[in-house]
Amino acid sequence: VMEPAIRFAARGFKASGYLSETVVQVKDVISRFPETASTYMPGGIALRPGELVDRSDYALTLQAIAEQGSDYLYNGPLGEIVCDYLGRNGGIITLQDLEAYKTIRRNPVKAEYRGYELFAPPPPSAAGIHIAEMLNIVEEFEVAKMGFGTADSIHLLLESMKKAFADRNRYTGDPDYVEVPVDRLIAKHHVEEFIDNLDMDKASPEIDPGSNEPDHTTHITVADLDGNIVAATQTINELFGSKVTVPGTGVLLNNTQQMFDPHPGHALSVQPGKRVTSSMSPVIVMREGLPEFAVGLPGGVRIFTSVFQAIVNLIDHEMSVQEAVEAPRVWTQGQEVELETGISELVMDQVAEKGHRVMPVNAIGGGMSIVRFEPGGLLSGASCWRADGHAVGIGGGFARSGVRFRPSVGEKDPPTVMSENIVAKTEDGDLA
């Protein structure tokens, strides 16, 4: 599993334009950390597109993890190196903290939308609950008849997002520390009062912002024809995380703790051992027991609202996967609303007339990837322009047992049909 990453890290890889631009964006901060700067700003200059990125230290670390497993970090040499480095630089993480960390397997949030079943991450992730909540709202409206990208359809999406963020700010956190009423929040009746009071001609009052989640994440969606699906999202939070690379390891440390609320008494209040709430939203959608599509993307607090829109695009607007990932997006968490510039000025004006504070932006969220199971057994995939990403299909596989390029070699009885075809062509003069 890790071999390709080890290989690319060992031999280096060419910096993309996107990577170069992100380094330039945070170069003033990276320059304060020599180990990180040596990789991404060699000679004090930000990586240029096409320049080789040297990750040889990281290759050795990945190789050790591949051989020794997670113990290499949580109970072994890498953990000791990380904790020693942090301790000498004012950090507070200890080996005991690493040893105490355990992966928890939780059941996904399951929801239904127009005959489809959705499976999404449970708390402490905010994805499953609030994607289901927003879909429950729009399910009560004829979204397809509204049309994609109209003022009414955008207004409905924005109002649904406001409701989701209001509930997220109030309820969602680490279920080991706070009670998260999952079943109540994803129930259809939970949004009935909201729907009854929703004014399609007027924006609802703004709500307080509740999350300081940065926009930078990584996602991959993989599927095969047997219906096996992996939709995985991971993050070190901001661009290049904390900007701190542990010398000799190539390991870039995260800065995810900044997403906690420093004030006590809230769902996101910081506590020892608590897991932070995130918006990471790998989602698998099925219909009648069979996989339909899987979707995910990077983008901080804009992730789960973007997945929500992609689901509506695929199901209600019957878009192709490429159309769904590239379609203009909208976003709000309860204050001003962001509308991608792919939306016309006329529609933006109409949305503003409903009382929304409109802010045109170049992009919302990151590069989405979708894999879809099409009729007839075809798999289709798509990525979009908002970040580096590619849809790749791999065909073929291992040869069937007993098959050879030249079946007559070493075999007494070569395939009869092949012999007959050759003879027939010869008799017809085709091969004469």
Other beta carbons within 10 angstroms of residue 209's beta carbon come to 12
Find, among 239, 236, 253, 243, the residue nearest to 38 by Cα. Answer: 243
* Residue written as token pair 């990453």: 5
pLDDT of residue 423: 39
**HSE of 370 in the Cβ direction (CA atoms, 13 Å)?**
26
Q: Which of 161, 328, 301 is nearest to 238 (CA)?
A: 301
> What's the confidence (pLDDT) of residue 405?
64
Using an 8 Å Cβ cutoff, are 59 and 251 in contact? Answer: no
Q: Where are the beta strands (DSSP E) in 79-145?
A: 109-113, 116-120
User: What pTM was computed for the model?
Assistant: 0.82
- pLDDT at residue 429, rounded to an integer: 42
Q: Which residues are catalytic?
A: 217
Count of residues making up the chain: 432
Which phi-psi region, left, alpha or beta, contains residue 209 (left: φ > 0; alpha: ψ -120 to 50)? beta
Query: At 153, which helix (H) or strand (E)?
Result: helix 151-171
pLDDT value, residue 401: 73
CB 57 within 8 A of CB 78: no
CA distances from 9 to 243, 251, 288, 410 (A): 18, 12, 42, 44
Using CA atoms, how far apart are residues 65 and 392, in angstroms rounded to an integer?
27
Rg (CA), the chain: 26
Q: Which residues of 278-308 are buried (b: 16+ CB within 10 A; e: fewer)?
A: bbbbbbbbbeeeebbbbbbbbbbbbbbbbbb
Contact call for residues 373 and 292 (beta carbons, < 8 A):
yes
pLDDT tens for the chain, residues 1 to 432: 899 999 999 999 999 998 999 999 999 999 999 999 999 999 999 999 999 999 999 999 999 999 999 999 999 999 999 999 999 999 999 999 999 999 999 999 999 999 999 999 999 999 999 999 999 999 999 999 999 999 999 999 999 999 999 999 888 889 999 899 999 999 999 999 999 999 999 999 876 655 555 566 788 889 988 888 999 988 888 889 999 999 999 999 998 888 888 888 888 888 888 898 888 999 999 999 999 999 999 888 899 999 999 999 999 999 999 999 999 999 999 889 999 999 999 999 999 999 999 999 999 999 999 999 988 888 999 999 888 888 888 776 666 777 666 655 555 554 444 433 433 333 444 443
Q: What are phi and psi of 259, to 5 degrees?
A: -80, -10
Asked if 127 and 299 touch (Cβ cutoff 8 Å), the reply is no
Domain 109-215+278-383: which topology?
Answer: Serum Albumin; Chain A, Domain 1 (1.10.246)
The residue ranges of every structural domain in the chain are 3-100, 109-215+278-383, 398-432
